Chain A
Amino acid sequence: MGVIYILITVSLFIAIIFLLAFIYAVKKGQYDDAVTPSIRMLFENKSTKNNQKPKSLDK
């Protein structure tokens, strides 16, 4: 049954890593603005040069 020592150590270790990762992320300000990134990720990184002309002509 000595395996429980290993299991508890491993599980606590992982839990602590997650806790520290979370605290690090908060400290870096990643949670300060929860709105902008959600909009930003929807922007496409396309080069707009090619399809920009026809689009504005359509309107």
Chain B
Amino acid sequence: MASISCYHCGDSCDSAVVYLNNNAFCCNGCKTVYEILNENDLSSYYDFEDAPGKSPKEIKGKYDYLDSDQITEKLYDFKDNKVSVITFYIPHIHCSSCIWVLEHLNKLNTAISTSQVNFPKKQVRITFDSSGISLKTLVILLNSIGYEPYISLEDTTKKKQKINRSLIYKLAITGFAFGNIMLLSFPEYFQTDDFWLEKYKSLFRTIIFITILPVVFYAANDYFISAYKGLRHKILNIDVPIALGISVLFLRSTYEMVYDVGQGYMDSLAGFVFFLLLGKIFQEQTYSFLSFERDYKSYFPIAVTKIKGKMESTISVYAIKKGDRLLVRNNELIPVDGVLISNNAQLDYSFVTGESLPLDKKSGDKIYAGGRQISGAIEMEVLQTVSQSYLTQLWSNSIFTKGRPSAIKNLTDRISKQFTIVVLIIATLAGVFWYFKDAGSVAQVVTAVLIVACPCALALSAPFALGNMLRIFGKEKIYLKNTDVIEQLSHINTVIFDKTGTITTAQTNILFQGSPLSSEEKVGVKSVLRASNHPLSRMIYSDLKAVDFLKVEAFKETTGKGIEGMVNGDTIRLGSASFVGAKKANHMQTVVYVSINGNAKGYFVFENSYRTDLDKLFKKLASNYQLGILSGDNEGEKDTLKSLLPKGTTMIFNQKPTDKLKYIEHLQKKGQRVLMVGDGLNDAGALAQSNVGLAIAEDINVFSPASDGIVDASKFSQLERILKLSKATLSIVKMSFVISLLYNLIGMYFAVTGQLSPIIAAILMPLSSISIVVFVTITTNLIAKKKMKHDKYHIF
């Protein structure tokens, strides 16, 4: 049978195909969405993209807490009696169909007045009449068409942040000033003693002077502030010579204009500030759809259901007290540590540990916060409050409250220290020399030296080189937080990996060990598995290759133990060793035993599958870096890893989240500069402590812990290249430093000999800046391409 894909969500319809209007649907959920959209005249949804939708999830009771005003109060952007405005984050937003349907929500409910999508941020801002539709109904409505908003604890704690657009204002004003001043300065460049020019000179100069004021006092104020701060901490950062240059340019030009000595250098000044601000903007590459600052709050729910006697009530997560009884529904997160009261639970800790197999828990077991319950509703008793739970405790570590020590000085600042000192020495020497030769022109020469020494090209090198590399990485699904990360990456000498989810994939290999199953037995086993909803059953089911299905009789599922059923008169049992009556094998991995008619046949082993090219990557890295594996799991995979990875790779198992952090700290104390590669919340501490923390994400849209960069899992094997490119970028920055110093040298010649006319300054300044920008942009693109080709060569 050719595979039919669902008209709504595009999944292949394996088991049950539902037809409506000649369109195939994989499930009733998808069909229902289609019906809703069709009835409301919204079926254009399917015209823009093929199969744009998503099957709605079962959310019974999940959003009951939205009825409580106390809890939802902070979710609104704005609310009064009539109008409410709320912004939802909807991870599923991915195509033009999504935008279209979400902006036509008013067709589904008249109480919704407008809705506007912000596509890069995957947000929709909905204005609605709260007397016509409640927040809960609105969320349920969104879910019913497959767009479930993601509401987490973080939404209630975040402050309404103001977007800072001042850099754009500054750039606009400076651009305006740059253009107009250039225009008005032009007549005087040619120094004709025209009657015409004489007449209008003062007018031109007055306008120039007025135009430059907002540039110096508003647009450039960041440089003065930063220079002042630097000096107070006794650091000569790059902003010190910049601020010095700006003030000297401004004062000298003002003096020249007022006393009619010359036309001044206001055009160079405006151009200088303009290029600097451009560099600043270029450096600020933001990935608005990603967040690098997430902690457990982005994962945790806002409210939970508390049970008191027979009453269910919704309480805020922060109001959970020790001894409370909580109801955790299917697919909800365990918010705090506690004891399981219900008989059985299956908890998926994948976003904490990266482990994709769910854990079985029995009544009385301790369950830790962060797991997702995936087999029906459970009850639990609370042992710890939210902030004191095993996982969340990690965030009370000082690394999260204080942040990394800011001792990291970047390359530009280190260079600028020497640069400033040299410039000051040259200015003094030139001043002394001219004092003896021609005392009248001392001030002129000294200021000229300070003007040409303005490190415009120098200050632009790093922003453009690193900014461009950041963009190149971004195109390859390697998203770094900012340009400093590239610089930090170039200093790395130790790379530490998390195991589960980082060097292993989410997929699991299923192996069968024991006496091989005949094809009839396989059919039998698969038929029994078909009836079970247990995640492990589903996985073996989709892995087993058997074509037929037979009728299963007397199917019984004993939660936490296993399943059994009769096929063709044979009793087939799958589950734990004691359940099927098999001898327990000495295995550290997850194992499912099989027995037929009481005879133990063997077991299915769930093995981690390692990422492709893992051994190649480690081999490449091993020559230059010290490597290590830091795992929260047991030592079950130690031997496999040993055979896979180069000798000398440190392997440490059974690490708690805080242990990981401590280990990184320990390495750093020994002087190592550590790159941590992790994926789950349990790596969050190590990611924050390390010099650079990179998070590996199978799906960029799913949350990953706070880090310096998020790398798409498909690019995992590129890690070595990322490190190499970062190093190469830094060399480019150094090269462009040399070039810009050459420009300064040429300018210095004019300055020291007292020939720096406004026109030379006006040519030299943009020329040096633009050529540096061109140089770094071209070279960074080149090395990125070359390194890519190099890699291809290796593969083939």
Contacts and interface: CB of A to CB of B under 8 A. Distances in A.
Interface of A: 1, 4-5, 8, 12, 15-16, 19, 22-23, 26-27, 29, 31-33, 35-36, 39-40, 42-43, 47-49, 52-53, 55-57, 59
B746 interface: no
Contacts of A22: 172
Contacts of A39: 96, 99, 119
B46 interface: yes
A47 B16 CA distance: 33
Contact of B173 (A19, A27, A29, A48): A19
Contacts of A12: 180, 207
Contact of B172 (A5, A23, A47): A23
- Main DSSP-derived SS at the A contact region: helix
B99 A49 contact: no
Contacts of A56: 21-23, 43, 46
Contact of B203 (A8, A27, A35, A55): A8
B259 interface: no
B290 to A, nearest CB: 15
11 contacts: A5-B203, A8-B203, A15-B176, A16-B176, A23-B172, A36-B116, A36-B118, A36-B120, A39-B96, A40-B103, A59-B23
A8 B21 contact: no
B677 to A, nearest CB: 30
Nearest to B42: A48
A26 B23 contact: no
B200 A4 contact: yes
Contacts of B200: 4
Interface in B42-86: 42-44, 46-48
B169 interface: yes
Nearest to B98: A39
Interface string B198-227: 011001000100000000000000000000
B119 A59 contact: no
B44 A33 contact: no
Contacts of A1: 196, 199
Nearest to B288: A33
B163 A32 contact: yes
Interface string B325-341: 00000000000000000
Contacts of A23: 169, 172-173
Nearest to B116: A36
B509 to A, nearest CB: 39
Contacts of B22: 56-57, 59
Contacts of B163: 29, 32
A31 B48 CA distance: 25
Contacts of B120: 33, 35-36
Given A15-B176, A57-B22, A36 B43 contact: no
Nearest to A33: B118
Contacts of A55: 47
Contact of B7 (A32, A43, A57, A59): A59
B312 interface: no
A57 B393 CA distance: 57
B176 A52 contact: no
Interface of B: 7, 21-23, 38, 41-44, 46-48, 96, 99-100, 103, 116-121, 163, 165, 168-169, 172-173, 176, 179-180, 196, 199-200, 203, 207
B200 to A, nearest CB: 6
A45 to B, nearest CB: 11
Contacts of A5: 203
A39 B103 CA distance: 12
A33 B168 contact: no
Given A1-B196, A1-B199, A59-B22, A31 B44 contact: no
Given A26-B168, A48-B43, A42 B176 contact: no
Contacts of B173: 19, 23
A47 B107 CA distance: 12
Given A26-B168, A26-B169, A36 B44 contact: no
Contacts of A48: 41-44
Given A12-B180, A33-B118, A57 B21 contact: yes
B196 A19 contact: no
Q: Top 10 A-B pairs ranked by shortest CB distance? A: A36-B119, A48-B44, A52-B43, A19-B176, A33-B118, A35-B119, A39-B96, A56-B21, A35-B120, A26-B168
A40 B119 CA distance: 10
A4 to B, nearest CB: 6
A33 to B, nearest CB: 5
Given A23-B169, A27-B165, A48-B41, 20 more contacts: A1-B196, A1-B199, A5-B203, A8-B203, A8-B207, A15-B180, A16-B176, A19-B176, A23-B173, A26-B168, A26-B169, A32-B163, A36-B120, A39-B96, A43-B48, A47-B41, A48-B42, A52-B43, A52-B44, A57-B21
Contacts of A35: 119-120
Nearest to A16: B176
Contacts of A36: 99, 116-120
Contacts of B199: 1
Contacts of B168: 26, 31
Contacts of B96: 39, 42-43
Contacts of B46: 56
A29 to B, nearest CB: 8
B94 to A, nearest CB: 12
A9 B118 CA distance: 41
Contacts of A42: 96
A49 B176 contact: no
A49 to B, nearest CB: 6
Contacts of A27: 165
Nearest to B95: A39
Contacts of B121: 33
Question: Which of A4, A12, A36, A40 has the most C-beta atoms of chain B within 10 angstroms of its own C-beta?
Answer: A36
Contacts of A15: 176, 179-180
Contacts of B172: 19, 22-23, 26
B51 to A, nearest CB: 11
Contacts of A8: 203, 207
Contacts of A52: 38, 41, 43-44
Nearest to A5: B203
A48 B44 CA distance: 7
A14 to B, nearest CB: 11
A4 B196 CA distance: 11
Nearest to B173: A19
Contacts of A59: 7, 22-23
Nearest to B22: A57
A29 B44 CA distance: 29
Contacts of B44: 48, 52
A15 B99 CA distance: 36
Nearest to A34: B120
